[in-house]
Structure 1
Amino acid sequence: MAYQQYQAYQNNSVNTASPGELTLMLYNGCLKFIKQAKKAIESQNYQSKNEMIQKTQDIIRELMVTLDQDAPIAKEIMPLYDFAYHALTQANIKNDLEQLEQAREIIENFRDTWKEVIKQERIRQHGQGVNS
């Protein structure tokens, strides 16, 4: 029963999230899967490691596909997504924690930056609402 309530909450969270919040959820998902992949490598559970890295790569591919190519920042973001994706591939092939860590750092930086963007946007919107 509690699990069903949690699932309903999760579905509602996704369905009511703004595009910015959805992007933040994707970054957080990447970091969660990278953490699980690290634990799997350390415990030599290679099947789980493969699954977690593939889930992370799926999210990064989604972020790449949905990136607005006309935005000036896209030319800076895309190579970093590409690098993270490649690092994950190497981590998966070689069970390489260093490559996994490089991908984690990139995604974490994106996540932290995105959190700040959302925060600033909320402040901007709230400020406009007060002045209107």
Structure 2
Amino acid sequence: MRYNAAQAYLKTQVTTTSQEELVIMLYDAAIKFLNRAKIKIKERDMAQKGILISKALDIIAELDGSLNVKQGGELAKNLHTMYFYCNTRLLKANIELNTEIIDEVIHILSQFRSAFAEILPGAKHSTSAPASQASLY
């Protein structure tokens, strides 16, 4: 019963949240999963570590797949390249159990999240942005 209520709440939150806020939520979730994966590496819980890194990879893939390359232009292409870089680094971190690589990806995603919150209209703590940047996703 409690699970159904949580699912209904989450569905309502996602359907009533702006696109900009959803992107920020995705960054937050990926960062959260990666921080938890680092803990699981230290605890030697390889199964959970793998699940958490996979969740972060899924989010990065969603962010990458949502890019609007036509309207986002060079910025969208650069983000695509950085998402690919993050994916390859996380795959390496997963195999090598390397928390420093995970920290590197967390730093990159945190920077993207902060920049995104600043440039997109409607996002938390945003300033006004040119319309061309607003169509990045």
Q: Give the TM-score of the pair, scaled to structure 1.
A: 0.83
- Per the alignment, residue 97 of structure 2 pairs with 95
Q: Aligned pairs, how many?
A: 123
1:46 paired with 2:24, answer no
Query: For 1:50 and 1:120, how far apart are their aligned partners in 2?
Result: 34
Match of 2:25 in 1: 25
Task: Give the Cα–Cα distance (whole angstroms) in 1 for the partners of residues 64 and 36 of structure 2.
Answer: 22
1:11-90 equivalence runs, <5 A: 11-70=11-70, 71=72, 72-90=74-92
Determine the structure 2 residue equivalent to 1:112.
114
Which amino acid is 1:69 matched to? V
Cα-to-partner distance string for 1:3-45 (whole Å, 9 max, x where unaligned):
6544433221111011111111111110110011011001000
The gaps in structure 1 that reach 5 residues or longer are 125-132
Counterpart residue identity of residue 115, structure 1: A
Higher helix share: 1
Judge which range, 89-98 or 61-70, deviates more. 61-70
Whose radius of gyration is greater, 1 or 2? 1
Gap regions ≥5 residues in structure 2: 130-137
